[in-house]
Amino acid sequence: MENGIPPSTILKLFKAKSDKAIENVVKGKELNYEDLRFASAYLEHQLKQPETRLRHFNERYRDYAQILDRCQTREEVIQASSKIGIDNASAGLNQRNGQDRDPRNSPALTTNEMQTLFTEQSPRHFTSEMTVAKLSYAGDGAATKARTEALKRGEIAPSPEAQQLVNSLESRMGRTYLDESLSATKHFLQSLKTPDAKLRYKNSFDHSELYRKLPPAERDFVYQRATEQKHHLEATVRNLSEQRGARAEIVVEKLQDVMKAELLALSLSNADPRLVKDRASVILNEYLGERGNISVGVETRQLSQELSEIVQGRNTRKLQHERTYAGAKPPHDFDQNGSRREILLEPTR
């Protein structure tokens, strides 16, 4: 009956099978009649059950239910449930737009029918993980929203697939600069709707394929997490830009005079480049720090390192020049009396 066979046909088949096993006597016919009455009452009772009634009368529901029944692993349940949701949504959209006018096509399942599909009793071969995966696709809009909020509060643990996407999202906060984290977060959102093969910058796995298989509540959870992270980064970058714009103008000439005086003295004294680097950091921190420069740490380290390398290069060239000059004494020889005489070399042409 769950395959759509009419009850009358089932009773005829049952009667034909019973007639072969019963002798042609009055008592046997009476027993056969009682069996038929019981079978008819049983069929009538089964048709009152929502799952059986939908499987019997609704072809689309029956096809979806049989697809789920054939699943053997949790991954197959997730994949089948995802395809069922997409197919039913597509059928409903075509009906609303008037694109599907073929009367032979059964209408899309309603929200209640979809909920019944995913909450009906699972086959015996289903494991607990398979049943949980199937149940996660059940629920109307309110139930989906409630489950999403529970996921955000940490009251429900996300599935391994959803957690894998969340880990990818959170890893993008570890970039060196905020604008890089913002770009990486935007790339994550783009990856949810774009196959990895079509992305300019590839991910370690196809985000769109995994995201498409998630149940509605987990899809909303992942998308909302990504959107919130994007908005947070945008607000932070905007606030930093406003703070930089409100800083007092830096008098470059004053900074130049201080740096020249300090570094010139250190350079003339052949100071260790590390001392030059440390002194430059102190000057820049004192000068820029007073003016509220937020990024002074990174900028100071970069500039002081450059100054250290410049001074180190100058001292190296100076030392090489002194060694060359010291070793450039004119060659000498000894005359017959044993006194040294200089040999003047003519310049080569």
pLDDT, tens digit (0-9, with 9 covering 90-100), for 248-282: 455 566 767 777 777 777 777 776 766 666 777 77
**What per-residue confidence (pLDDT) applies to 271?**
66
Within 8 A by CB and 6+ apart from 135, the residues are: 118, 119
Across 130-146, average pLDDT: 84
SS3 content of the chain, % helix, strand, coil (to 5): 70, 0, 30
Across 53-58, average pLDDT: 82
What is the C-alpha to C-alpha distance for residues 183 and 306, in angstroms, rounded to an integer?
A: 29
Rg (CA), the chain: 41
Res 349 pLDDT > 50? no
What is the C-alpha to C-alpha distance for residues 71 and 137, in angstroms, rounded to an integer?
A: 15
Across 9-29, average pLDDT: 54
Res 194 pLDDT > 70? yes
Q: Alpha-carbon torsion 60, 62, 67, 71, what sign? A: positive
Which of 159, 132, 171, 288 minimizes the C-alpha distance to 221?
Answer: 159
What is the C-alpha to C-alpha distance for residues 15 and 314, in angstroms, rounded to an integer?
A: 109
Max mean pLDDT among 13-22, 55-64, 236-245, 295-304 falls in 55-64
Provide DSSP, 73-96. Answer: SHHHHHHHHHHHHHHHHHHHHHHH
More confident residue, 48 or 70: 70
Res 234 pLDDT > 90? yes
Burial of 28 (0-12, 13-18, 19+ CB in 10 A): middle
**What per-residue confidence (pLDDT) applies to 240?**
81
**What per-residue confidence (pLDDT) applies to 310?**
60
**What per-residue confidence (pLDDT) applies to 199?**
93
Task: Output the average pLDDT for the chain.
Answer: 75
Which of 179, 278, 173, 186 minimizes the C-alpha distance to 230?
Answer: 186
Give 220's pLDDT tier (boundaries 50, 70, 90). Answer: very high
Res 333 pLDDT > 50? no
pLDDT tens digit string along 139-166? 777 788 888 999 999 998 999 999 999 9
Q: Which two three-digit tokens encode residue 200?
A: 């300019």
More confident residue, 25 or 78: 78
Give 49's pLDDT tier (boundaries 50, 70, 90). Answer: confident
Q: What percent of the chain has pLDDT over 90?
A: 29
Res 212 pLDDT > 60? yes
Res 217 pLDDT > 80? yes
**What per-residue confidence (pLDDT) applies to 71?**
95
**What per-residue confidence (pLDDT) applies to 204?**
94
**What per-residue confidence (pLDDT) applies to 14?**
57
What is the C-alpha to C-alpha distance for residues 186 and 4, in angstroms, rounded to an integer?
A: 49
Res 37 pLDDT > 60? yes
**What per-residue confidence (pLDDT) applies to 189?**
96
pTM above 0.85, yes or no: no
More confident residue, 123 or 265: 123
More confident residue, 210 or 253: 210
Query: In this structure, are residues 229 and 267 in contact, taking their beta carbons and an 8 Å threshold?
Result: no
Q: Which two three-digit tokens encode residue 301?
A: 């380290």
Res 205 pLDDT > 70? yes
Across 328-339, average pLDDT: 48
